[in-house]
Amino acid sequence: MLPGGEMLPVYPDVKPNPLQNANLCSRVFFWWLNPLFKIGHKRRLEEDDMYSVLPEDRSKHLGEELQGCWDKEVSRAEKDSRKPSLTKAIIKCYWKSYVVLGVFTLIEEGTKVIQPIFLGKIINYFEKHDPSNAVALHEAYVYATVLTTCTLILAILHHLYFYHVQCAGMRLRVAMCHMIYRKALRLSNVAMGKTTTGQIVNLLSNDVNKFDQVTIFLHFLWAGPLQAIAVTALLWMEIGISCLAGIAVLIILLPLQSCIGKLFSSFRSKTAAFTDARIRTMNEVITGIRIIKMYAWEKSFADLITHLRRKEISKILSSSYLRGMNLASFFVASKIIIFVTFTTYVLLGNVITASHVFVAVSLYGAVRLTVTLFFPAAIEKVSEAVISIQRIKNFLLLDEISQRTPQLPSDGKTIVHVQDVTAFWDKTSETPTLQDLSFTVRPGELLAVIGPVGAGKSSLLSTVLGELPRSRGLVSVHGRIAYVSQQPWVFSGTVRSNILFGKKYEKEWYEKVIKVCALRKDLQLLEDGDLTVIGDRGATLSGGQKARVNLARAVYQDADIYLLDDPLSAVDAEVGRHLFELCICQTLHEKITILVTHQLQYLKAASQILILKDGKMVQKGTYTEFLKSGVDFGSLLKTENEEADQSPAPGSPVLRTRSFSESSIWSQQSSKPSLKDSAPEVQTNENIPAAVSEESRLEGKVGFKAYKNYLMAGAHWLVIVFLILLNVIAQVAYVLQDWWLSFWANEQSALNVMVNETENVTEKVDLAWYLGIYSGLTVATVLFGIARSLLVFYVLVHSSQTLHNRMFESILRAPVLFFDRNPIGRILNRFSKDIGHMDDLLPLTFLDFFQTFLQVLGVVGVAVAVIPWIAIPLIPLGILFFVLRRYFLETSRDVKRLESTTRSPVFSHLSSSLQGLWTIRAYKAEERFQELFDAHQDLHSEAWFLFLTTSRWFAVRLDAICAIFVIIVAFGSLILATTVDAGQVGLALSYALTLMGMFQWCVRQSAEVENMMISVERVMEYTDLEKEAPWEYQNRPPPNWPQDGMIVFDNVNFSYSLDGPLVLKHLTALIKSKEKEPFLFTGTMRKNLDPFNEHTDEELWNALTEVQLKEAIEELPGKLDTELAESGSNFSVGQRQLVCLARAILRRNQILIIDEATANVDPRTDELIQKTIREKFAQCTVLTIAHRLNTIIDSDKIMVLDSGRLKEYDEPYVLLQNEESLFHKMVQQLGKAEAAALTETAKQEYFKRNYPDITHRDPVVMNASNGQPSAFTIFETAL
């Protein structure tokens, strides 16, 4: 654990892995797992019950090993000037350990080939049955013993082999994930533009899973052909040339299957593209759910998702039909092969005998599995893995950021020196982001950077950080950097770990940091103080608190250089002043500080001021220099009026500076409903809706109801009844075909016996009759087999679609609280992983289970029909099996659940790291986040390891049951030799042998179906969430409603959840007759302004002109059709806010709520926005929620809230006259000059509003339309 960092999940005294010192016997039979099953039987398994990861399976160890191979491969490729191949690196890393496992495959497949020979010897004994011959009987017993020994060898070897290959797969996957995460932390910003968070998460969730599967089948690529050759030779010895006919069918089926496989993977990649798009859109819908609900855009987004989903489903259906054909062909292949073989055999004039028939059947059975299932599966999985490796390789080859080590100069002096720097975010654009910038900051200096929106202020910081590559010029940074991003970022963990960020906890320093960052009171109000866990998206902090935590993190680092990107905009004036004076001016006074800000009142304290515009430096100097040289900040930026005596000359407008909180996209998604950001910041405890709840893990069995609902969602119940009948008929035809062969052989041998008594001529049975029926049964088997496959897929894919639509509908109708309580990842998981299961794996598994289940029934039925008393030992075996299955599932279900709950943190850690990428890199915390990631991975590996081993534990025991069954059949038929004939023994024994793999496959699939039904249950759980009020009311208002925006609060109490604390208390107010949240959707600019094409281009351009964005957008390559990067990150925050304002103008809303809107906008733009709001929304009610006094002094009324209670509500001037009022005190805190200026403005406004005929001293530019709506301000106090 890192000292005081408490970032790594703490493993309470890790349980050592019992496998490490288990003996051979225990390893073979997986006895070492017994204690775990005992625990699982008694109670629910928890994370602490899991065994720790084996040292060689640790994420760090594996990742570094593979990374080493990959780095070597990259450098070798550069030497040979070719493209590096990830496949080569993987092979180089893992080939040795994997080749050893090939020996297992060899022994196992060899045993499968030998088995049928001994089966033939036993049947032979029955054909020549002579009760008096003791020698023959002894021989038969020896053969039976060899046969059962083979069966036991298979049972044991198979599972050891499987366990080891799956472990190999796990290691490869873990190593890959480690590398992907490591790469994600190093991506350059250009590369970030080429990929999205969604894509990276997809690499981690889907692509790497291919490695788990590919290792299982890889060995069959060589074992398959080898085995086929051996079997052909044996068959030739057995039935001569006609075996070639059967082998020919096998060989024809192979390319057919690989053809289907190829088609399938092409569908797969198309489906993947649609799925990506759907999940990306879903991500935006869930992230921007507030805006969608506010604009009532649900319908339109629903259409968008439905459209994407429809495309995806059509592809899924076609690939499912292909899969159905594949399964069906696998099911009927053996029937066709045997049919062809024996038809040829008989037509060539040979006589059918039981031993020939069943040896052939068993041999074909052995080779068929390998050739038609494992070999094509190997090809399919390998081709899928190759595509995934390609995708991962492309990601691993993206540009990395150049690793900058902070240079500490020899004399230990820190400095930031930037000279003639020009830099581009986008290499292709002509206009540089920054042009010819030069400045130097030494310790103890504060450089303030100001400038209009999009001037490149944040880009300037990113150049110093090394995030923005410079095309020319010199940037030398000596010293350790601390960075505060414009959009506050917190990761999941405690508040303390967010501040410490891996440094040691030093109480005094920590307390001091908390104090200067104005967090003390906030922390007192949190239940667990600074040990409160902040959820997935910092769910329990307001935007302002997050901003202060970010600042505290920087201060605590005690670095040399501080880059502060507008940290003061998310807090109110008082707190802002506190932070500026105590934190920036005092605590950091010996440091190098670069502050980007919009608050011009702080410029006096800066040692130098840098004014940027369009990436160029307009001016640089000190405050006094600027004043002396008569530089009017106003002309550059529009700024505060200095001392009151400098009040503006007549004719010049009163300037209002103002700056609004950064309602950044992230803080928007994460903070509580947006009003909360502005509800009293201090009263945190009041704003915490129920913290993120633990993800519900359903207990116990999957109920019958779930299956019923699942099937009924896909089709009418009549269809389902028909489906079940179809399955049964197909199985009956399947068994009858084999039975007919054995009947034929028996009739033939009976004939032979009769003929022999008269004279020595072999008489043939009536060929046409036997062959005819045989052909008929074969055709029936094939047709029914195919029909049922397709029908099952049709029904199940449809039910997946229906359930997805119901869930989506229900999510859209869920109240906002639901989205605060459940992190994005959890909701998205339902849409990606669970729906993915239902589209893809569940139908396949379901059909597979049903087929094998019916086959098992067929096998047992045949055995009982041949030797009725087999039923007696079958009963205890059956009971044993059911007890075992229940016992196993108790533990296995928990293990599976642990596996899926330990998987989530891996993803949320990745996506939160991507959000805070700059911060992590600035603090050089990559190593630590990598360790955290490895810890999450190891936790998941613990669960995965248990998942693999518990299923093997069970499988070994199942196969033991089957082996006992084979022994009973073999020895039972020998004991009862007189009562049975050869054909029946052949049928029963050859069927019993197939039971070996099949029975346990059947049970595994049944457990798998149950496990996947959990996905169905999770989806169903989201199909009936509590709903908000209906979207449309029955009695609709007239179309021109509302004529004027009146808002009435009548004794309102408000809390975020039913049981949550009140955030507003007894609020009563009447507001006589905007909204703004800079959230952009991925897509074109046009889609952002007008998602549903309701306006003409001209209207769009007009709206953009009004918010001064026309030029900026005309410069873009595609103008209105330019694609925005994910969540609009290629626009500055200020520009995003302007886009949102344009959106509001287009919609002509009657009520406008400005939630600290222009936080990241410079005063000049701010002025424009104010003007726009006054003109465009003259007839509207405008609610401004603000921390800045100068922004709101000209409102009609001001409402001061404290701790959710209404303290004051009146015109600004009236409030200022009362010296006791809170508002008066707040204004006084700004300092004399500012206070005087504000009071003056308030006075003018007051007179203009109430006595318009008295012309007051200064003409004020103001829109005094008669229907002057009220501009109304909610104000909050803090500290």
> Over the stretch 223-250, which tens digit does the pLDDT of each residue have?
888 888 888 888 888 888 888 888 888 7
* CA pair distance 917, 491, nearest whole angstrom: 11
- Please provide the distance, in angstroms rounded to a whole number, between the alpha carbons at the two ends of the chain: 35
- At 775 the pLDDT is 92
Q: What is the DSSP string of 471-485?
A: EEEEEEEES-EEEE-
Please tell me the distance from the alpha carbon of residue 1151 to that of residue 1046, in angstroms, as a whole number: 8
Amino acid at 218: L
* 8 A C-beta contact, residue 588 and residue 545: no
The span from the CA of 378 to the CA of 299, in Å, is 45
The secondary structure element, H or E, covering residue 1191 is none
Alpha-helical segments (H) within 867-981: 871-915, 917-922, 926-975
DSSP code of 583? Answer: I
Burial 1082-1099 (b: 16+ CB within 10 A, else e): bbebbbbbbbeeeeeeee
According to the model, what pLDDT value does residue 648 have?
33
Which of these ranges, 345-349, 387-391, 1206-1210, has the smallest mean pLDDT? 1206-1210
Higher pLDDT, 928 or 1197: 928
Which residue has better confidence, 1191 or 451? 451
Question: Residue 1253 has what pLDDT?
Answer: 65
Instruction: State pLDDT tens for residues 621-668.
Output: 888 887 777 665 555 544 333 333 333 333 333 322 223 333 332 333
| Rounded CA separation 536/819 (Å) | 12
Say how far apart CA 1177 and CA 1271 lie, in whole Å: 10
Is 1018 in contact with 838 (CB distance < 8 Å)? Answer: no
- Rounded alpha-carbon distances, angstroms, from residue 1112 to 455, 615, 970, 1135, 1160: 11, 13, 85, 9, 17
The answer to whether residue 554 scores a pLDDT higher than 80 is yes
Half-sphere exposure of 608 (CA within 13 A, CB side): 16
DSSP of 1214-1242 = HHHH-TTSHHHHHHHTT-HHHHHHHHHHH
Residue given tokens 């020996």 in the structure block: 103
Which two tokens mark 1154? 């400005």
Query: Pairing state of beta strands 1181-1186 and 1271-1276?
Result: parallel
How much is the pLDDT for 576? 84
Q: Which of 1206, 1204, 1223 is nearest to 1215 (CA)?
A: 1223
High-pLDDT (> 90) share of the chain, %: 2
Helix (H, G, I), strand (E, B) or coil at 564: strand
pLDDT at 1165: 67
| Residue (of 347, 292, 563, 282) closest to 446 by Cα position | 563
Residue 1266, pLDDT score: 38
Average of pLDDT values for 711-738?
Answer: 87
Residues contacting 260, CB < 8 A, separation 6+: 322, 325, 326, 329
Q: Which pLDDT score is estimated for 696?
A: 56
What is the identity of the amino acid at 311?
Answer: K
Q: How far is CA 1209 from CA 312, 1201, 1242, in A?
A: 55, 9, 15
What is the SS3 assignment for 610? strand
Express each pLDDT in 981-996 by its tens digit: 788 888 888 888 888 7
Computed over every residue of the chain, the mean pLDDT equals 78
- Give the separation between CA 655 and CA 652, rounded to whole angstroms: 8
Provide the 10 A C-beta neighbour count for residue 545.
30
Tokens at 82, concatenated = 């070719």
Q: What is the pLDDT of residue 1272?
A: 54
Distance between CA 1142 and CA 1085 in Å, rounded? Answer: 11
Give 181's contacts (C-beta < 8 A, 6+ positions apart): 204, 910, 913, 930, 933
pLDDT higher than 60, residue 154: yes
Q: What confidence tens digit (pLDDT) does each residue in 1014-1039 have?
A: 888 888 888 887 777 777 777 777 77
Question: What per-residue confidence (pLDDT) applies to 4?
Answer: 43
Using omega within 30 degrees of 0 as the cis cutoff, is the peptide bond preceding 1252 cis?
no
Three-state DSSP class for residue 505: coil
Tell me, rounded to whole angstroms, the distance of Cα 1108 from its chain centroid. Answer: 38
**Burial classification of residue 803, based on how many CB atoms lie within 10 Å of its CB (0-12 exposed, 13-18 middle, 19 or more buried):** buried
Comparing C-alpha atoms, which of 888, 878, 719 is closest to residue 796? 719
What is the rounded distance in angstroms from the CA atom of residue 1133 to the CA atom of residue 1161?
Answer: 8
Mean pLDDT, residues 461-470 taken together: 81
Q: What is the mean pLDDT of residues 1052-1066?
A: 73
Which amino acid is residue 1014, in one-letter code? I
Task: Read off the tokens for 663.
Answer: 């309602």
Q: Hey, what amino acid is at 742?
A: S
What torsion do the CA atoms of 384, 389, 390, 393 make, to the nearest 10 degrees?
A: 170
Percent of the chain scored above 70 by pLDDT?
Answer: 84
Task: Tell me if 197 sits within 8 A of 205, measured CB to CB.
Answer: no
* Position 420 confidence tier, pLDDT thresholds 50, 70, 90: confident
- Contact between 361 and 990 under an 8 Å Cβ cutoff? The reply is yes
The answer to whether 129 and 976 are in contact (CB under 8 A) is no
Beta strands in 485-596 (DSSP E): 493-494, 533-534, 561-565, 592-596
With the CA atoms of 939, 940, 945 and 946 taken in that order, what torsion angle do they form, in degrees rounded to the nearest 10? 80
Alpha-carbon distance of 1278 to 684, in angstroms, equals: 11
Does the pLDDT value for residue 409 go beyond 80? no
Mean pLDDT of 956-976: 86
544 touches 506 (CB < 8 A): no
DSSP-assigned letters across all residues of 1015-1047: HHHHHHHTTTPPP-S-SS-SSPPPTT--SS--E
Residue 10 has pLDDT above 50, yes or no: no
Nearest to 913 by CA among 130, 223, 204, 246: 204
Cβ-in-10-Å burial (0-12, 13-18, 19+) of 248 comes to middle
Predicted confidence at residue 1256, as pLDDT, reads 47
pLDDT for 1128: 56
User: Can you give the pTM of this predicted structure?
Assistant: 0.69
Judge whether 613 and 627 are in contact, CB under 8 Å.
Answer: no
DSSP-assigned states of every residue in 125-188:
HHHT--TT-HHHHHHHHHHHHHHHHHHHHHHHHHHHHHHHHHHHHHHHHHHHHHHHHHHHTTB-
Q: What's the mean pLDDT in 605-623?
A: 83
The pLDDT assigned to 879 comes to 92
